[in-house]
């Protein structure tokens, strides 16, 4: 016999294979088990493509009739970009469905469970729910707030500096840390920096060391549209580049368009691109996961607007001193009670560097509460432990 928790954990690992491709769709994994053997696996591979359950049914090595389906998220019951998964599950003759968490989207929430139960299937709810909720926190934020999930990434000296006084930042962190950053890029929809970073470092902002079918988008905050035409992100990565500006300079925009660059003219706030306005525009383009890589003024803008969900902070055993550039620019805190709060959720070592991961939001809690709410409505009630 299979262990349901182990099977659901495999479904979670499958779901993670879709990170960086599903955009405003949730990451979902599915496994089909029959007579104690796994006969099918699937995951949501890309935005607008078949859902995990359909991929798992297509992957079956034998008929799924009478089998068990393990899926990290409640199957959809409505017709969106694809037909309802519940119809396919019922039509395939699946006998039992093990669900990690309830879908936070009110269009589907509890409706998929109800439809399966009405069709006579046994439904188990709440296996490995912590993991299943964790992998769709970004999707949950989108559902609850209509905003993208924003992650800051920074490397600092032990005295909190991201560069020296003359803007030299290569390299604060070591090579192992920088390789991990490439992984973070590879699972993001977009990488965002300010124009000062482009002017001083002339970065590519591409993904190295990790293969993926497409590059994440590059977003540059360029309030006054001063990006050089010969910069790397324009010349080499222009087709992936979005410039967020507050200047409608038609002549320069036309020149940039020849390199494939897209320009978004945003509102201005405090003399800079209004990041609230920008994120609203990005989510309408189905850009969900944004990795913000600096600099200090850009970090401060997102912090001040309450848009940040997670921070990956790499700390190197180096001291730069008071003339260096601090991690965060001014965010207007005058009293300690107004300081922005976050929670340490993970810590790793990369040789001499330390990575601390902080969370500013916890949409996982919302998903778990919703799952608990509907747990007793299932025919068979089960728990993670």
* pLDDT, position 22: 92
Number of Cβ within a 10 Å radius of residue 344: 11
Half-sphere exposure of 37 (CA within 13 A, CB side): 7
Please write the tens of the pLDDT for every residue from 290-329.
999 988 999 999 999 999 999 999 999 999 988 888 999 9
Please write the tens of the pLDDT for every residue from 49-63.
899 999 999 999 999
Among 194-198, 242-246, 376-380, the minimum mean pLDDT is found in 376-380
- Closest among 53, 58, 117, 122 to 85, alpha carbons compared: 53
Q: Which residues pair with 123 in a beta bridge?
A: 97
Which of 211 and 382 is assigned the larger pLDDT? 211
Number of Cβ within a 10 Å radius of residue 320: 22
Q: Measure the CA–CA gap between 12 and 71, rounded to whole angstroms.
A: 8
Q: Dihedral angle at the C-alpha atoms of 364, 365, 369, 371, nearest 10 degrees?
A: 20
Local structure of 375: helix, strand or coil: helix
- Would you name the residues annotated as active-site residues? 53
Please write the tens of the pLDDT for every residue from 12-24.
999 999 999 999 9
- Closest among 291, 293, 290 to 155, alpha carbons compared: 293
Task: Give the mean pLDDT of 74-84.
Answer: 82
Helix (H) or strand (E) holding 354: strand 353-359
* pLDDT, position 377: 65
* pLDDT, position 383: 41
- Closest among 359, 302, 300 to 329, alpha carbons compared: 300
Please write the tens of the pLDDT for every residue from 265-291.
999 998 999 999 999 999 999 999 999
Model pTM? 0.92
* pLDDT, position 378: 64
pLDDT surpasses 60 at 182: yes
Please write the tens of the pLDDT for every residue from 88-114.
999 999 999 999 999 999 999 999 999
- Distance from CA of residue 125 to its chain's centroid? 25
Please write the tens of the pLDDT for every residue from 372-381.
998 876 654 4
pLDDT surpasses 70 at 169: yes
Q: Phi and psi for 91 in degrees, rounded to 5?
A: -65, -30
Those residues with Cβ within 8 angstroms of residue 229's Cβ, 6 or more apart along the chain or in another chain: 235, 255, 256, 259
Please write the tens of the pLDDT for every residue from 199-214.
988 999 999 888 777 8
Percent of all residues in the chain with a pLDDT value above 90, rounded to a whole number: 79
Percent of all residues in the chain with a pLDDT value above 70, rounded to a whole number: 97
Mean pLDDT of the chain: 92
Q: Phi and psi for 84 in degrees, rounded to 5?
A: -60, 135
Among 72-81, 117-126, 133-142, 149-158, the minimum mean pLDDT is found in 72-81
* pLDDT, position 381: 41
């Amino acid at each position: 016999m299979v262990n349901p928790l182990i099977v659901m954990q495999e479904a979670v690992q499958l779901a993670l294979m879709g990170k960086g491709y599903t955009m405003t769709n949730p990451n979902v994994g599915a496994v089909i088990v029959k007579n104690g053997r796994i006969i099918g696996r699937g995951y949501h591979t890309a935005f607008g493509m078949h859902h995990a359950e359909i991929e798992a049914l297509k992957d079956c090595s034998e008929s799924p009739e009478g089998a068990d389906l393990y899926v990290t998220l409640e199957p959809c019951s409505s017709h969106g970009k694809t037909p309802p998964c519940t119809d396919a599950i019922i039509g395939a003759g699946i006998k039992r469905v093990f669900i990690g968490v309830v879908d936070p989207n009110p269009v589907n929430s509890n409706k998929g469970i109800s439809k399966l139960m009405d069709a006579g299937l046994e439904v188990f709810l709440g296996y490995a729910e912590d993991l299943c909720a964790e992998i769709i926190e970004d999707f949950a934020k989108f559902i609850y707030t209509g905003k993208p999930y924003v992650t800051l990434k920074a490397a600092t000296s032990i005295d909190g500096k991201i560069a020296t006084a003359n803007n030299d930042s290569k390299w604060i962190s070591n090579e192992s840390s920088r390789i991990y950053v490439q992984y973070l890029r590879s699972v993001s929809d977009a990488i965002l920096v300010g124009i000062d970073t482009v002017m001083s470092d002339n970065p590519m902002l591409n993904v190295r060391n990790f293969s993926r079918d497409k590059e994440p988008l590059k977003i540059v905050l360029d309030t006054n549209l001063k990006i050089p035409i010969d910069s790397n992100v324009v010349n080499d990565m222009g087709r992936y580049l979005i410039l967020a500006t507050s200047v409608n300079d038609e002549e320069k925009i036309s020149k940039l368009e020849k390199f494939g660059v897209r320009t978004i003219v945003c509102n201005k706030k405090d003399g800079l691109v209004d990041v609230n306005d920008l994120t609203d525009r990005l989510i309408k383009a189905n850009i969900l996961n944004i990795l913000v890589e600096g600099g200090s003024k850009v970090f401060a803008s997102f912090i001040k607007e309450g848009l940040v969900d997670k921070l990956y902070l790499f700390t190197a055993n180096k001291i730069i001193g008071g003339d260096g550039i601090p991690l965060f620019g001014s965010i207007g805190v005058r009293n300690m009670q107004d300081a922005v709060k976050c929670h340490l959720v993970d810590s790793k070592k990369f040789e001499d560097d330390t990575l601390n991961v902080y969370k500013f939001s916890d949409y996982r809690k919302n998903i778990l509460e919703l799952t608990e709410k509907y747990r007793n409505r299932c025919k068979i009630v089960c728990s993670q432990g």
